[in-house]
A and B are shown apart, each in its own frame.
Chain A
């Protein structure tokens, strides 16, 4: 057991810190807040990704031959943590970088790699994922969006939902049913769909927070070239599930830092309004600190296992359950500390931190649902880790 960074890991971290010091404007958040309109804000973030790409920091986990650095899992964690620690803008091409890109590297044809990978790294093309449907959430393999072969094209019809970045995306990694007669996991195929194709309709989906982070996608007779099948026809479940494992494995590292920064802010706030001397508040904050530490340590153990040759596996569900439920407890404690001020939204002169805590409270409600509900995560642990009979 050695929790010190190795000389090369330290070198990696210091190089990144230096690059951030040279390239991340300390007042970017103020600049960003002045930009009007979602599209213009998105272009700002895209320009940031381009800068990251030019600096050689985009897709660091990808193999060198595809423009990455072949970074180790520990270096990926360092990268995610350092970006979060510096408060750097999100990379708008995150789905391409973390999910679609790695899946394309594993399953894609040479032509697909040639066509897509560079543009994913640079942010020139943004990707979304068409996975969930109104009747296929936890039971993803029950999805009904169909694709039927017509000459050298598939013709796609159906509906997808909860599509992050759908409104901004140039391309979609779409899971469709190509064999309606096969058992549900066997008849699926992954298509790479140009979002500008005729018949693609992107509609905003307003969430309980009031924002439209997600979209619904409607596909009506959308023609997709057969050359855009990712992996093999009817092997889509294996292609898609690999992507989801990546999602669960890598999501936590940044979240841990974000929650910690947020926690430090609430401690500071509690001190400033005289609540830190209240023993009940102290207990709750200390418990929250312990939970955040346990989350960090669980992640370090999981990353170390992966670094030793393990692939992201079903144990990722432990992290998912832990951080999502922790964040909900934390947001509740934050609300209790702020009392009636906690309910004030952005724009009120009396609100704390311009109402971000109200937003955080509502947004955390989604944590135990997105990327697999807590219920399905527990069943995954029961079946795939503890070896209990499959119950769903």
Chain B
């Protein structure tokens, strides 16, 4: 038994760390957050050239075909630097196509998605939002989908309808996108209105997409784990240097307790995330509940980590200039994305108790 990364997983993580920290420095992230799309085409190209956009796509269709533990390790690094734009949405949508589409459609669609020449996102929620696939109510392809991640920069919207899964051209006829300005500016949300929009039917029902939602949830958890680690690191280095009463504030026990709780939360988030990724990869019977354990635990743990990070910074933590609020916003958006803690606890009650 070995609960830790293998050598090849460590290699993936290290090259992700090197790449994302070099290409997405925080100044660049801030610049992108201020743009309309949080998306930079040359940077996306660079990211795609390294293969990161095709991580979850099997090699047979031109992807990297990484195992999910490796993908989680890479996404932890992406989360650490707060990579903005459609990477997570794209990985989730391509996982959905991989999970539900026919062989012919996969051959047709996945190679261009793997190289990042095409970008996709997944549309699940409706005006009465629920992550329960049984709650999907819109017909094909008519009505409104909300909270669709990064739709404005995509080519395809993988759309769940009561008639099954459809691939819809994001800029096609009958599709109208309206921005939904939200607190995490690193990831733009859209309302998507479909009016008799043509779509390529990928599957006749939505059930196969559950796996993609579980993968997306796990990758989101991995990102958040990296973000939590970054908040902890920033905070620890700040309290070591900020002085009051003639000594570093990190010498005060109440401040140390704030940091210690962030550490416990971050390490626990990491344990829960990697087990979820492993369980999905291995198709363990408890895979779905493992995903819900991670998501529900991290929703609270990330909020605690963000709160403590800001608190330990004092007034500086409340400024726009300090980077913590970018992570804090991401943590808040994390809470409801792919189902909040209440949703996932109910799923645990159904699956595991």
Contact = CB atoms under 8 A, between A and B. Distances in A.
Contacts of A290: 272, 292-293, 296-297, 345, 348
Interface in B1-34: 1-6, 9
B349 A286 contact: yes
Given A301-B3, A318-B267, A378-B256, A388 B239 contact: yes
Interface in A4-27: 4-6, 9
Nearest to A325: B264
Interface residues of A, number: 49
Given A293-B290, A297-B3, A282 B272 contact: no
B271 A391 contact: no
Interface in A371-390: 375, 377-379, 381-383, 385-389
Nearest to B69: A1
A294 interface: yes
Nearest to A321: B264
B109 interface: no
Contacts of B1: 2-6, 9, 74, 300, 304
Contacts of A305: 4
Interface stretch (B44-52, B134-142, B243-251): B243-251
A297 B274 CA distance: 9
B39 to A, nearest CB: 32
Given A1-B9, A290-B348, A381-B264, A386 B259 contact: yes
A7 to B, nearest CB: 12
Nearest to A287: B345
Contacts of B345: 282-283, 286-287, 290
B40 interface: no
Interface string B263-279: 11001101110110010
B4 A391 contact: no
A174 interface: no
A267 interface: yes
Contacts of A379: 253, 256-257, 260
A285 B263 contact: no
B349 A389 contact: no
Nearest to B342: A283
Contacts of B255: 388
Contacts of B257: 375, 378-379, 382
A248 to B, nearest CB: 14
A298 B247 CA distance: 34
A382 B259 contact: yes
A322 interface: yes
A253 B6 CA distance: 24
Interface residues of B, number: 47
Contacts of B248: 388-389
Interface string B319-353: 00000000000000000000001100110110011
Contacts of A74: 1
A382 B260 contact: yes
Contacts of B272: 290, 293-294, 297
A380 to B, nearest CB: 8
A3 B3 contact: yes
A66 interface: no
B264 A391 contact: no
B250 A388 contact: yes
Contact of B4 (A9, A294, A301, A389): A301
A95 B125 CA distance: 56
B350 to A, nearest CB: 9
Interface in A52-84: 74
B195 interface: no
A130 B263 CA distance: 32
A25 B234 CA distance: 56
A115 interface: no
A286 B353 contact: yes
B103 to A, nearest CB: 30
Given A286-B349, A290-B345, A382-B260, A298 B268 contact: yes
Interface in B62-91: 69
B252 interface: yes
Given A283-B346, A286-B296, A289-B352, A389 B3 contact: no
Nearest to B352: A289
A322 B293 contact: no
B353 A391 contact: no
Given A289-B353, A389-B248, A1 B3 contact: yes
A317 B270 CA distance: 17
A83 B268 CA distance: 26
A317 B256 CA distance: 14
A389 B251 contact: yes
B240 interface: yes
A322 to B, nearest CB: 6
Interface string A297-328: 11011011101100000010110011000000
B261 interface: yes
Contacts of B99: none
B11 to A, nearest CB: 14
A74 B247 CA distance: 43
Interface string A99-122: 000000000000000000000000
Contacts of A6: 1
**Max chain B C-beta neighbours (<10 A), residue from A290, A293, A389:** A290
Given A290-B296, A297-B271, A322-B264, A392 B253 contact: yes
Contacts of B267: 298, 301, 315, 318
Q: Counting chain B CB atoms within 10 Å of each CB, which of A1, A267, A298, A383 scores highest?
A: A1
A387 B3 contact: no
Contacts of B2: 1-3, 304, 307-308
Given A3-B275, A303-B3, 11 more contacts: A1-B6, A1-B9, A282-B353, A287-B345, A290-B272, A382-B260, A389-B240, A389-B247, A391-B252, A391-B253, A392-B253
5 contacts: A283-B345, A283-B349, A285-B353, A300-B271, A381-B263
Interface of A: 1-6, 9, 74, 267, 276, 279, 282-283, 285-287, 289-291, 293-294, 297-298, 300-301, 303-305, 307-308, 315, 317-318, 321-322, 375, 377-379, 381-383, 385-389, 391-392
**Those 7 A-B pairs whose CB atoms lie nearest each other, nearest first:** A382-B256, A286-B345, A297-B271, A378-B260, A286-B348, A389-B251, A381-B260
